[in-house]
Structures are given as structure tokens and as C-alpha cells.
Amino acid sequence: MDSGTNIGFDTQGAGITVQRALELPGLRSGLPEILAGADRLQRTVRWVHAGEVPNIASLLKGGELLLTTGYGLGTRPAEQRAFVRTLAERGIAALVVELGPRFTRLPAALVDTARTTGLPLVQLHREVPFVAVTEEIHTEIVNGHYALLQRAEEVHRRCTEALLGGGGIPQVLGILADFSGNPVFLETTDGQLLYAAGEGPEGADPLQVWEGLRGQHKDTPPAGSALVDVPGGGPGAGSVRARLVLLPVRAPLAPVHRMAAERAAGILAVVLMQARQEEELAARGRGDFLTDLAEGRITPEDAPAQARVLGFKPGSGPLLPVVMRLGDALAPGGGWAVLARAVSEELASVGVPVLLGVRPVEGRVPVLLGLRSESERSAVADRVAAALRTVVDRDVEDLRLVACHGGD
């Protein structure tokens, strides 16, 4: 992160610092003298407000630099202490009082309370136009926000160029990790890790960071983390496909990092959608092949070569065809991809070759399994049924096993 490119700009991205505000020509011309909170001048000035009413704290939201000539401070020490205390409780950035007709010097009660509460208190020895000061600081804040947007857009541009150059999700995450100086993760909506990039503390592998930190805080992510949803293509405006997670293990995260992550999430959504479309096209192609094979439109002589092209390489043992009917689950956004993944993962552990396709029009999922021997037919069928039950219970409704029989 280029924290040194603009010393006066708050690197958290919410405004400028009190110190920077005092260095601008408007306040500098008033000969500012810091009476309290000199060690807190790096506080963020989110906005500027000018006012003279006793209850002005109720009009503020926090983070403001308050300009006043002191008419609302009260005349008694108790009123002045209460005035400063309520401002400090509200969380304003600093109180700037212009000396003049109301005060030639600030009362001790005011100064002592500011020191006790840690509120930066500044007195101006010369009159300044508050309107000019407000415009000047607000312009600085807006320019700072624009600079942040430019930095986030630069990350977006680099991610786009990486994709156009043949890169994929790892490259996008790598760019985001470099920019934030922290490891970046892409996880499923239920917290399963998909990709990781960047380094943990002292060059630790990001997977170690994930297991040691994020893995222990799935329900409540570590403080200072950034979680950004990657939109999905499912029904509903709030559909989420995955989630970006930035963990502040090497350096604190700033809002600009979240802004960059939000732009990267849009790119990742396109990549994931494209991958899903490509996966669906491939699955439909496999479904057409299996249907043509079952209905005799492909000769036994041609079938092995076509199956190998589709990635199916069984041994010399028997084959087990299975046809599943999913009904509405094969509609756009349906559960065929979840089902295909579950079946493949279930059977991969026992080394069973699987060729799975989809036939959305008929609402069918044809599957061809390669067995090592006739004796394992029942065991493999049970594993398929177990995988299907898992998916049905979690994601897919109206699933029926249509056929399960042997073949050569």
C-alpha cells in the first residue's frame, strides 16, 4: 500500500487528518495553537461543521472538525466542561475555537476537559472566514476520495488485463493480494476454500493463515477483515456465488482495499459465470453422447474413442449406466452442477471412472461408471445413492433414480 504518497490524507480512506487540515492555508492563516490532543492529530476529519449553539453535539455524527467562535460554550465552567465532554463522546475529530469578542483566551475548564477526554483542541489567534475554511477542507476530502477511487480502478484495470492475457482467478487474487499487502481468499458461501493468494506473516503459506485464523472464525471473521460477496447468476437480486476474504495479518486493511475487492468481485463473477457456462456446455455434450449411446445412435466400435475424448477412460471391467431425473432442478440455476460434483467426489475416493452428462430438456442426468469387476456393482451403486441423498437433502428437490442396470 502506498501510504507515503500523501502524508496528510487519511489512509483509511474516510477523509484527511486533523494535522493536514491545520496545514491548509485557511486554518494556517489563523495562527492555530494546539492546546490539547497534540498526540491525536492523525484523527480523521470526515467533514467540517461550524456552529454556535450549546447543543451542537446532537447535530453531529462523529468525525467532524467543529469551527466555532465560542458563543455556545457557556459562561460557567460546568457548562464548558459539559460542552467539551459531549463533543468528545460524539467522537468529533477536533474542536477549533476562534479567539475574538467572546474569548481572548480559552477558559481553563475547557482546556482541562479537552485534555482529560483526549479531544484535540485548537485556538485561532486571528480571524478566518469559516466558509473558506470549510470549502477548502471539503475539497481536500473529496479529492482524497477521488484518489482512492483511482487506485481501486487501477486494480480493476490490472485484473481485467490479466484475464485478457489468459490469466484466471489465481492471477486476479494475486493482484489484489499485492495491492492490499495481505493474503486473499476466495471461498464458497458455506466457508469452503476455493483459491488463495499472497503470503501470511513472515512469508507463511496463505493456507496456514486460512487454517489458523479464518478457519477459527467462520461465523465471526477476525476484526479488520474485509468480506465481499461475489454475485451469482441464480434467482433473486441477492444471489451470491462466492465470497472474497481479505485478512489483515501483515498490515491493516483500508477502505481502498475493500473498494478494490468489490471491483475484483465483479470480475470474478464474470469468470465464474463463464466457467459455469463452459461446464454446462461440456455437461450437455456428455449428456448427448450418453443418450445417443443408450439409444443406439453410436456404434460399439466408435463409442470407446468418443468416450476417451470426453475424458472417460475405464478399464476392461463392466460398465454401470445410471439415469437420474431431477425435474425442475435442471432449469437455469438448478442443481445439476452440485450433483455432478458430489457424485464425482464420492466415487473419486475409490477410483471409479465417471462420465456424467445432463439432458435439461428431458430433465435427466445420464451417468456411466466404470467398474473393475462385477462384484463391486452393488457397492458402487450404494455410493452413488449416498452422494445423491446428500445433494437432495441439501440442494436438490424432486430427484428420482430412473434406472440403474448393468452393461458391457
Helix (H) or strand (E) holding 390: helix 377-394
Helices (H), 310-364: 336-348
CATH number of 152-275: 3.30.450.40
According to CATH, the topology of domain 16-138 is 3.40.1390
pLDDT in tens, 60-84: 999 999 999 999 998 899 999 999 9
Q: Tell me the whole-structure pTM to 2 decimals.
A: 0.53
Query: Can you give the residue ranges of every domain in the chain?
Result: 16-138, 152-275, 312-404
pLDDT in tens, 274-301: 777 667 777 788 888 888 888 888 888 8
Share of the chain above pLDDT 70, in %: 78
Over range 83-90, report the average pLDDT: 95
Enter the C-alpha cell of residue 28. 494556517
Residues in the chain: 408
Q: State residue 90's pLDDT score.
A: 94
What architecture is domain 312-404?
Answer: 2-Layer Sandwich (3.30)
Dihedral angle computed from the Cα positions of residues 50, 53, 57 and 59, in that order, rounded to the nearest 10 degrees: -70
CA distance 7 to 9: 6
Q: What count of Cα atoms within 13 Å lies in the side-chain half-sphere of residue 365? A: 30
Chain-centroid distance of CA 214 in Å reads 14
Helices (H), 213-254: none
